[in-house]
Chain A
């Protein structure tokens, strides 16, 4: 038996509200299936499952808000008999059910104010999992009535206390919650990550000319935006400098085998999300453009999938259309780098000893100094610039 738990969809998420189940008890589910809709502070998310089997039991009902990591349902391996009433099957919180989400997104420490009173006395009986959750949620376990053997405080006791606290609080509106979530993640990033910043000016003349020519050959629905060239170039440059395509986890850098570029999308009405374009480095610019269009539409419509929020290995933000020259962004933990782009503007530059006017773009890198040094960051920007001089090869 495996547990399907409330996923952590980014460093700024501590809890989620189950909106509805998409599958029924007894139904077969496969890895990647969307089985539930969950409301987070930022958006309503379609949650995929990362294990296969048969949906055995719902542990949480629609409308309930529970902390990240709370078991939502039990998944039985296919072919395994339904346990008899009263029998207690071995419960396995399988890696397949949890690792893809948990591995990349440790709980944000910023959202956890220190408890006013040290919650742990030597005589308190509490399970390690319950102790951890109580610490994360700033709940004094001594105030809880333990329901375990000998009055031991269990994980379920702490989860109930968290839910009771949530129920007692007046829920702020979505905009307020989104700002709070962004504030938590960004404050954590600035507090914990020693950022360094680099920038370079990229001559976009070849990209602009190639794109104009290319788009005359494409139907309206297949036209490219220059942003997709930037995303593909970032992904390929990461292959050359993979240090920046990592996660900071448990005190060390863990490289990601795949490149999933997260795209910062501003939402109408305020706030932003940064969902992933999966395997950005392996797709043609045409395929990427289709996915980019779809992703932005769904982000703004509030129908993103859980993997799109949990998988980004780096974030790209572009503020050129707002007239910004350059962007020095804040890294989204546990990622270790962020790439920013300003506007493309005609400016004088020197080409082959001649002063000419070309469309120039400022590309910036914000990187985690615990993981990489300026030398590696410089190599990344140099690779990015080189790649953008040959747009036809992207």
Chain B
């Protein structure tokens, strides 16, 4: 899966937890939490959404790696490569 496809999947998952947000304005290197005002329940729903989109199991200990959009893509690309 290409990085662009992963990025699209991440944005779809984010769109479901923050439907009112304009994701085209999301800064790729800035913390998603600060830009979208998401809480731990949103984060859990985001991880569940990524699981549905990409069939990946993300352990809790790796949640900090999902802090930014770029971080998400890097982490998921690595996870999918080793899968």
Contacts and interface: CB of A to CB of B under 8 A. Distances in A.
Interface of A: 212, 215-216, 220-221, 223, 225, 227, 268-269, 292-293, 296-297, 321
B20 A268 contact: yes
B22 interface: no
A227 B45 contact: no
A321 B59 contact: no
A293 B47 contact: no
B1 to A, nearest CB: 19
6 shortest A-B CB distances, which residue pairs? A321-B39, A220-B51, A215-B60, A225-B40, A268-B20, A296-B41
B9 interface: no
A310 B60 CA distance: 36
Interface string B7-27: 000000000001110000000
A212 B39 contact: no
Given A220-B51, A268-B20, A269-B20, A212 B60 contact: yes
A220 B40 contact: no
B80 interface: no
A223 B40 contact: no
Nearest to B18: A268
Interface in B33-83: 37, 39-41, 44-45, 47-48, 51, 57-61
Given A212-B60, A216-B59, A220-B57, A225 B41 contact: yes
Given A321-B39, A321-B40, A293 B45 contact: yes
Given A212-B60, A268-B18, A269-B20, A220 B41 contact: no
Contacts of B58: 220
B67 to A, nearest CB: 14
Given A220-B58, A292-B41, 14 more contacts: A212-B61, A215-B60, A216-B60, A220-B47, A220-B48, A220-B57, A221-B51, A223-B44, A225-B44, A227-B40, A268-B19, A268-B20, A293-B44, A297-B45
Contact of A293 (B18, B41, B57): B41
Contacts of B39: 321
A212 B62 CA distance: 12
A319 to B, nearest CB: 10
A21 B16 CA distance: 29
A94 to B, nearest CB: 39
B71 to A, nearest CB: 19
Contacts of B59: 216
7 contacts: A220-B47, A220-B51, A223-B60, A268-B19, A269-B20, A296-B41, A297-B45
A360 to B, nearest CB: 18
A221 B49 CA distance: 10
A213 to B, nearest CB: 10
Contacts of B40: 225, 227, 321
Nearest to A297: B45
A169 B57 CA distance: 54
* Residue of B19, B48, B57, B61 with most chain A CB atoms under a 10 A cut-off: B48
A382 to B, nearest CB: 27
* Residue of B41, B45, B61 with most chain A CB atoms under a 10 A cut-off: B41
B47 to A, nearest CB: 6
Contacts of B18: 268
B69 to A, nearest CB: 19
Contacts of B44: 223, 225, 293
Contacts of A225: 40-41, 44
Contacts of B20: 268-269
* Residue of A268, A292, A293 with most chain B CB atoms under a 10 A cut-off: A268
Contacts of B45: 293, 297
